[in-house]
Amino acid sequence: DAKTTQPTSMDCAEGRAANLPCNHSTISGNEYVYWYRQIHSQGPQYIIHGLKNNETNEMASLIITEDRKSSTLILPHATLRDTAVYYCIVRVGNTGNQFYFGTGTSLTVIP
């Protein structure tokens, strides 16, 4: 699986958009980009995933660059409850059974 690089920590003002970047320059053509978050010592929570097109759901938007070497998770209106560690993971969609966490981004939403 491709490795990912994320900033260690970020702050965001409540109500503003939080943009969390992830570099995955060694991603293969059939590897998906997944985003999870972990609120203190709870089970990681699925947010969104994509292959090459931008994706949006009720929680967030995922913007993947055309060369697929990086992506950005966007939380459109951050709330205090969005304070968590956010993990960007790349893996083969339906075949690979390895799902490795890297070092995520600790996002703090500030009142």
Q: Which is nearer to another protein, 58 or 111 (CB)?
A: 58
Binding site for another protein (CB under 8 A): 32, 34, 36, 38, 41-46, 49, 51, 85, 87, 93-94, 97-104
Rounded-to-integer distance, Cα 25 and Cα 87, Å: 16
Q: Which is nearer to another protein, 65 or 103 (CB)?
A: 103
CA distance to 5, 83, 84, 85, 97, per residue, from 40 (Å): 21, 9, 7, 8, 26
Output the smallest distance, CB 98 to another protein, in A: 5
Output the smallest distance, CB 89 to another protein, in A: 9
